[in-house]
Structure 1
Amino acid sequence: MGSDPELLARIRAINDSAAFNRWCGFEVLRAGAGVAELAMPWRPEVGQYAGFLHAGLLGALIDTACGFAAATLVGRVLASHYSVNCLRPAVGERFVARARVVKPGKTQVFTACDLFALQGADEKLVATGETLLTVVAVAA
């Protein structure tokens, strides 16, 4: 997944403007035309009762990474629908979401994402997801 410095700066600025993203510790690693990669470190307050990353944060990572991938092509978007498939317990030191646009459009964008848990050099796929995003018209 390549990265475009201009798109990366724009997506990082969007990420930095969101209080929730800052609280989660989301970091935009890469952004290019139709792709984005987002990371989040593990910390106990994002876990559920058994010590795994909470499924709500799996969804947040997938939704956010997909939104950023779409934003690289069409600008502002809002989630219309998203789904998450939890494949295994999300246990790791860090989590990385790699999103891509499947089909862009004028009013909606279809995206997909793979979410990995990293433990040292070991990387395991823990969830996948898809989003349908609505393009938001910017008021003039």
Structure 2
Amino acid sequence: MSGGDQQVSPDAFLAMGREVIASQPFSVLIGAELHALSRGYIELQVPIFDKLKQQDGFAHGGVVSYLADNALTFAGGTAMAVPVVLSEFKINYVRPAIGERLIARARAVHFGSSQAVCTCEVFAVQDGEEKLCALAQGTIARLPDPSQKST
């Protein structure tokens, strides 16, 4: 998501975010759903089905990590309003992700012209109750302008 988004209606902004998710083959493969998007904030969800579980029946850590990765990047990218990439993140798994659905909520905590620091909470939903299963923090970096050649 890039410049000019401040003038876009909330519904149009969400629709643009959904187009980005739809253009990511892995996101489509696991059924990712964008539920909320505003400048510096996102809610991304994934239904938990058998192929996304590990041997003990929990959602695989890679799926939880995917949610944190994508949510952090969206939060930073929408806050900075420029093309971005996740440059690093840390995740703490605090409880097994057991349930029917995972919800990631991320927000930009601080951002400037070249990077953003974002936080994310990932919840597992079982019988309508959300339980925190992971916390993540990451740094989102502005992509270089393609017209600027590096040496």
Which TM-score tier does this pair reach, normalised by the shorter chain? over 0.9
Residue 23 of structure 1 corresponds to 29
**Contact 1:109–1:134 (8 Å) recurs in 2:** yes
**Post-superposition, which runs of at least 4 consecutive aligned residues in structure 1 deviate over 2 A?**
137-140
**Corresponding residue for residue 72 of structure 2:** 66
Query: How far has the Cα of 1:79 moved from its partner?
Result: 1.2
Shift in Å at residue 4 of structure 1? 2.1
Shift in Å, 1:138: 4.5
User: Which letter does structure 1 place at the counterpart of 2:72?
Assistant: C
**1:20-66 deviation line (CA, Å, top 9, x unaligned):** 11011110000011100000001111111111011111111001011
Tell me by how many angstroms 1:137 deviates: 3.3
User: Does 2:147 correspond to 1:137?
Assistant: no
The equivalent position to 2:54 in structure 1, one of 27, 39, 48, is 48
Deviation at 1:6, TM superposition (A): 2.6
Cα gap change, 1:101/1:122 in structure 2, threshold over 3 Å: closer, same or farther? same
**1:110-136: CA deviations, max 9, x gaps?**
100000111122111111101111111
- Counterpart residue number, 1:117: 124
Which of the pair has more CA radius of gyration? 2
- The two structures have a TM-score, normalised by structure 2, of 0.86
- Number of aligned pairs? 138
**SS class of match (1:88):** coil
Q: Which residue in the other structure is 1:4 paired with?
A: 10
Q: Is the CA contact 1:7–1:72 (under 8 Å) kept in the aligned structure 2?
A: no
Aligned AA for 2:12? Answer: E
In structure 2, stretches of 5+ residues that fail to align are 1-8
1:39-97 deviations in whole A, cap 9, x for unaligned?
00011111111110111111110010111112212232111111110001100100000
Matched, 1:35 2:41: yes
Equivalent position SS for 1:67: helix
Structure 1: how far apart are the matches of 2:126 and 2:10?
Answer: 27
Distance 2:56 2:31 in 1: 21
Partner of 2:75, secondary structure, is helix
**Can you give the 5+ residue segments of structure 1 that lack an aligned partner in the other structure?**
none
Aligned partners of 1:31 and 1:37 also within 8 Å: yes
Please point out which of 101, 107, 111 is paired with 1:104.
111
What's the Cα RMSD here?
Answer: 1.4
Identity %: 34
